[in-house]
Amino acid sequence: MGRSSSVITAQLIHPGVVQVRILTRVYGQAGKHWRRVLGGPNHGGYGRIFIERTGANQRRYENCYDSRGDYRGNPAINLDECPGAMFIWTGPKEADVEPICAVDNQKLGRELGHALRPYPQRKKIDLWEVVFRFL
């Protein structure tokens, strides 16, 4: 099983483990943000990362709540959270939230979601581990 857009690929590398490869230069500020936050050893201290679609809206709200009013009315800015709301992780860190170009943020999020669509979560306990690689 594997799925790819032109610049993000997702491929099963072990049972239950998906490798996501992101060509970061295509995503401008969003690509730089994700590479900086997750590119180091142990995913930058986030540990093992899993797809967990259940609760994504609540996690997004909690991660971005404090900054939500700072950029209201500025359609060119989105708050990018990394790892994104569709993920949970084993490390003690909170999501890194940064104001970035809205187009870059939405493109990376849309294409990452599309690449991971073949890895469903039919029950809350169905977790796919994700290993990120940045090109």
pLDDT at 72: 60
The pair of three-digit structure tokens given for residue 23, joined into one six-digit string: 């060509």
Please classify residue 18 by burial: count the beta carbons closer than 10 Å to its beta carbon, then call 0-12 exposed, 13-18 middle and 19+ buried.
Answer: buried
Q: How many domains, in total, are found in the chain?
A: 1
What is the reported pLDDT for 59? 87
Q: Distances from the Cα of 22 to the Cαs of 35, 95, 125, in angstroms?
A: 9, 19, 26
Per-residue model confidence as pLDDT tens for the chain (135 residues): 555 456 899 999 999 999 999 999 999 999 999 999 999 899 999 999 999 988 888 888 887 766 666 556 566 678 889 999 999 999 999 999 999 999 999 999 999 999 999 998 887 778 999 999 999
pLDDT of residue 64: 78
Structural domain for 60, as ranges: 2-134
Quote the CA–CA distance of 102 and 11 in Å, as a whole number: 27
**Confidence (pTM):** 0.86
The count of C-alpha atoms lying within 13 angstroms of the C-alpha of 48, restricted to the half-sphere facing its C-beta, is: 9
Burial 110-133 (b: 16+ CB within 10 A, else e): ebbeebbeebebeeeeeebbbebe
Pairing of strands 17-22, 128-134: parallel
Instruction: Transcribe 45-93 into DSSP letters.
Output: HT-SEEE--TTHHHHHHHHHGGGTTTTTT-TTEEEEEES-TTEEESSSP
